[in-house]
A and B are shown apart, each in its own frame.
Chain A
Amino acid sequence: MNMHGARKDLLAGALFVVFGLAFAITSSTYEVGSALRMGPGYFPLVLGSVLVLLGILIAVKGFVAGDTGELGPVPWKAAVLIVTALLFFGFTVRGLGMVPSLLVTVFLTAMAGRNARVIPAAVVAASLTALSILIFVIVLQLRLPYFGPWLQG
């Protein structure tokens, strides 16, 4: 049996079990009720248990069947940069305003590309920020301040 190949299904199964358990355990703290008068906990408790069961089945099936292919490469750098970029935008868009916040967000994202370099990424950031202002603020008239209170102290 190829343990490496079976990993994908085992991991998928485990992930579903974790989610199912989390939902089932949390919903048992709500009022479950009966089939006639279902409480808020009833539906998620049943579904959470079903998900645990499905997760176990997927893992077992993966273990028995073995080969399900390689996991392949994971773009760690890109994942970290993109998540950071999104969090940065959420965290600063109100305080810094749309322009500085978006510039940094797009720059970080552009750096996530393979073989990305600083200057082209900065150019992409500047042009996309300008384009976004044109589309969202000028054409669609969304009321997003260019600069926020943090910069006007």
Chain B
Amino acid sequence: MEILDNLGLGFETAFTPINLLFAFIGVALGTAVGVLPGIGPTATIAMLLPITFGFEPVTSLIMLAGIYYGAQYGGSTTAILINLPGESSAAVTALDGHQMARQGRAGPALATAALGSFFAGTVGTLALALFAVPISEAALLFGSPEYFSLVVLGLIASIALASGSVLKALAMIVLGLLLGTVGQDLVSGTPRFTFGLRELYSGLNFVSLAVGLFGVAEILRNLEGDITRSVMVQKVKNLWLTKDDFRRIRGPVLRGTGLGTALGVLPGAGHVLASFVSYSVEKRVSKKPQEFGRGAIEGVAAPESANNAAAQTQFVPLLTLGLPVSPIMALLLGAFIIQGIVPGPNVIDEEPELVWGLIASMWIGNFFLVLLNLPLIGLWVKMLTIPYRVLFPAIIAFASIGTYSIALNEFHVYAIAFFGILGYVLIKLGNEPAPLLLGFVLGPLLEEYLRRALIISDGDPSVFVTRPISLVLLLLAAAAFIIAVLPTVRRKREVVFEEED
């Protein structure tokens, strides 16, 4: 069994003391930022990217990935205890989880979230391991035209799943693509949009962009109003589930895991979508739908399993195709590139320790998370008492030092301020920041594949529709776009995402 060999290699890599340590640090940090409202995993990973330069590639990715799926656990704690989603995908968990907490059942709600997430994380990781090889083998048949169409599909599909106006999301993608062209042209070496600034020759800094968009802009959003939060539950008791609880969550956990595993690979907010869909599925199949919203344990089990499974399978397109489906995956793609690894179908062959070590570390990380989130729950509850007036200066301080230390270049710090203000204005005017970041990361790839494909075809643009795989990918992109603008789908989408606010 090849898969067993691969996983063996992975566990061997992940079980070295240094990798175990950083998996632990990653998931602990992830839980912390997941618990704290006002700071999310995107900004955290962006801030910590620069300091992982000196690490081994696998160690760096193990830690950064841990922050991401760790935040999924932490987010549910906040949702249950103070009815405020610490992380966007935990919004659904708050519906029934907080009701359970008010009825004195915070313990079982937290236990359900942690155990459901662990089961889902295990299945998601396994699915990732199973699909990684076949998909990357198929992707080896791809040429430049196929990659171009694939990137187009990724970008369009991310609109279909984003909330808000399709036109605005499209404009944000194009703006991101344009910002990605800043710097020296790959083919001719001509500096573009650099205004004579030497610092811009290598392009706008990715970390500055991400920290500005997701860190500074978010701080400004939060400072618009008062942030007050009260922890209702100071002591959490009875962390174990009764036999009846176990019987009730079995079905929801299984269904949530299945849905999350499948929906996670979709571009856009796959894990958010997964938690919403699984919640409505449970409500529909339940014999007592009236209990939902009043503290039904099924309403915690399903979305928590779904979002955690999706968090794992989001890595499938990244590791097999080099295609990020969400801003966080885009950041991890950035981490690969910083380490000198070009993500794509070859990575799994060329860097087996990296890919399998990362996959194995996710399972270990999920195990750490159960330990961190159940016995140590009191610690995280305490963390909720950290006031925001201390938190946001810390974000600015870490962001400045981290970004400056990338190249001891103050220009990158100025860029944070620029993107912070730009991001705030754009968000304020009703634009989601995620498509811009995806466009920025994928822009250079899109241009390169486009130019290469047209050179191969002697300038004949029909190359994109005469090659079958490319044609299928473009048709899928067209279908995703049509679905996104269909009035009935739009209305449903608005309903789904409105509940989130």
A interface with B by C-beta (< 8 Å): 8-9, 11-12, 15-16, 19-20, 23, 26-27, 30-31, 34-41, 43-44, 47-48, 50-51, 54-55, 57-58, 61, 68-69, 71-75, 78-79, 82-83, 85-87, 89-91, 93-94, 98, 102, 105-106, 109-110, 112-114, 116, 120, 124-125, 128-129, 131-132, 135-136, 140, 142, 144
User: Could you give 11 example pairs across A and B, Cβ below 8 Å?
Assistant: A12-B426, A15-B426, A23-B193, A40-B187, A86-B417, A86-B420, A94-B410, A105-B400, A116-B389, A124-B393, A136-B51
With a cutoff of 8 Å between Cβ atoms, the chain A residues found around residue B408 in the complex are: 94
Expressed in whole angstroms, the minimum distance between the Cβ of B461 and any Cβ of chain A is 7
With a cutoff of 8 Å between Cβ atoms, the chain B residues found around residue A102 in the complex are: 397, 400-401
Using CB atoms, name the residue of chain A closest to B446: A43
Report if B428 contacts A (CB, 8 A). Answer: yes
Establish whether residues A113 and B220, one from each chain, have CB atoms under 8 Å apart when the complex forms: no
How many residue pairs at the A-B interface have CB separations less than 8 Å? Answer: 190
Report if B431 contacts A (CB, 8 A). Answer: yes
Establish whether residues A19 and B178, one from each chain, have CB atoms under 8 Å apart when the complex forms: yes
Report if B285 contacts A (CB, 8 A). Answer: no
The CA-CA distance from A86 to B165 in the complex, in Å, is 32
Expressed in whole angstroms, the minimum distance between the Cβ of B179 and any Cβ of chain A is 9
Report if B414 contacts A (CB, 8 A). Answer: yes
Contacts A23-B193, A79-B421; is A89 near B430 (CB within 8 Å)? Answer: no
- Identify the stretch in B13-21, B374-382, B447-455, B482-490 within 8 Å (CB) of chain A at 4 or more residues: B447-455
Using CB atoms, name the residue of chain A closest to B184: A40
Establish whether residues A90 and B414, one from each chain, have CB atoms under 8 Å apart when the complex forms: yes
Report if B134 contacts A (CB, 8 A). Answer: no
Establish whether residues A89 and B413, one from each chain, have CB atoms under 8 Å apart when the complex forms: yes
How many residues on the B side are at the interface (Cβ–Cβ under 8 A)? 62
Interface residues of B in 396-433 (CB under 8 A from A): 396-398, 400-402, 404-405, 408, 410-411, 413-414, 416-417, 420-421, 424-426, 428-431
The CA-CA distance from A10 to B450 in the complex, in Å, is 33
Using CB atoms, name the residue of chain A closest to B388: A113
Establish whether residues B396 and A106, one from each chain, have CB atoms under 8 Å apart when the complex forms: yes
Report if B171 contacts A (CB, 8 A). Answer: yes
Report if B219 contacts A (CB, 8 A). Answer: yes
Expressed in whole angstroms, the minimum distance between the Cβ of B251 and any Cβ of chain A is 40
Establish whether residues B220 and A12, one from each chain, have CB atoms under 8 Å apart when the complex forms: no
Report if B225 contacts A (CB, 8 A). Answer: yes
Contacts A78-B220, A82-B216; is A87 near B417 (CB within 8 Å)? Answer: yes
Establish whether residues A44 and B178, one from each chain, have CB atoms under 8 Å apart when the complex forms: yes
Report if B223 contacts A (CB, 8 A). Answer: yes
Contacts A30-B192, A71-B428, A82-B219; is A93 near B404 (CB within 8 Å)? Answer: yes
Report if B197 contacts A (CB, 8 A). Answer: no
Interface residues of B in 271-292 (CB under 8 A from A): none
With a cutoff of 8 Å between Cβ atoms, the chain B residues found around residue A116 in the complex are: 389
Report if B147 contacts A (CB, 8 A). Answer: no
State which of B174, B193, B220, B226 has its C-beta within 8 Å of the C-beta of A79: B220
Contacts A35-B454, A109-B396; is A54 near B167 (CB within 8 Å)? Answer: yes
The CA-CA distance from A96 to B431 in the complex, in Å, is 39
State which of A11, A50, A85, A106 has its C-beta within 8 Å of the C-beta of B429: A11
Expressed in whole angstroms, the minimum distance between the Cβ of A128 and any Cβ of chain B is 5
12 more A-B residue pairs beyond the given contacts A11-B429, A78-B219, with a C-beta to C-beta distance below 8 A: A9-B430, A12-B430, A20-B178, A36-B454, A38-B454, A40-B190, A44-B193, A51-B175, A68-B430, A83-B420, A87-B414, A113-B392
Contacts A15-B425, A23-B193; is A98 near B171 (CB within 8 Å)? Answer: no
Establish whether residues B389 and A51, one from each chain, have CB atoms under 8 Å apart when the complex forms: no
Establish whether residues B51 and A140, one from each chain, have CB atoms under 8 Å apart when the complex forms: yes
State which of B389, B450, B461 has its C-beta within 8 Å of the C-beta of A113: B389
Establish whether residues B181 and A43, one from each chain, have CB atoms under 8 Å apart when the complex forms: yes
State which of B410, B421, B428, B461 has its C-beta within 8 Å of the C-beta of A83: B421
With a cutoff of 8 Å between Cβ atoms, the chain B residues found around residue A55 in the complex are: 171
The CA-CA distance from A91 to B181 in the complex, in Å, is 27
Establish whether residues A16 and B397, one from each chain, have CB atoms under 8 Å apart when the complex forms: no
Establish whether residues B193 and A74, one from each chain, have CB atoms under 8 Å apart when the complex forms: no
The CA-CA distance from A135 to B394 in the complex, in Å, is 12
Report if B390 contacts A (CB, 8 A). Answer: yes
Contacts A36-B458, A36-B459, A90-B410; is A120 near B389 (CB within 8 Å)? Answer: yes
With a cutoff of 8 Å between Cβ atoms, the chain A residues found around residue B242 in the complex are: none
Contacts A40-B187, A51-B174, A51-B178; is A86 near B416 (CB within 8 Å)? Answer: yes
With a cutoff of 8 Å between Cβ atoms, the chain B residues found around residue A106 in the complex are: 393, 396-397
Establish whether residues B190 and A31, one from each chain, have CB atoms under 8 Å apart when the complex forms: yes
With a cutoff of 8 Å between Cβ atoms, the chain A residues found around residue B188 in the complex are: 31, 39-40
Q: Scan B190-217; emit 1 where CB is below 8 A from any A CB, else 0.
A: 1011000000000000000000000010
State which of B168, B187, B226 has its C-beta within 8 Å of the C-beta of A12: B168
Report if B362 contacts A (CB, 8 A). Answer: no
The CA-CA distance from A26 to B196 in the complex, in Å, is 13
Establish whether residues A142 and B400, one from each chain, have CB atoms under 8 Å apart when the complex forms: no
Q: Scan B19-55; emit 1 where CB is below 8 A from any A CB, else 0.
A: 0000000000000000000000000000000010000
State which of A74, A124, A135 has its C-beta within 8 Å of the C-beta of B428: A74
With a cutoff of 8 Å between Cβ atoms, the chain B residues found around residue A27 in the complex are: 192-193
Report if B137 contacts A (CB, 8 A). Answer: no
Establish whether residues A86 and B398, one from each chain, have CB atoms under 8 Å apart when the complex forms: no
Establish whether residues B404 and A78, one from each chain, have CB atoms under 8 Å apart when the complex forms: no
Expressed in whole angstroms, the minimum distance between the Cβ of B345 and any Cβ of chain A is 25
Using CB atoms, name the residue of chain A closest to B429: A12
Establish whether residues B400 and A89, one from each chain, have CB atoms under 8 Å apart when the complex forms: yes
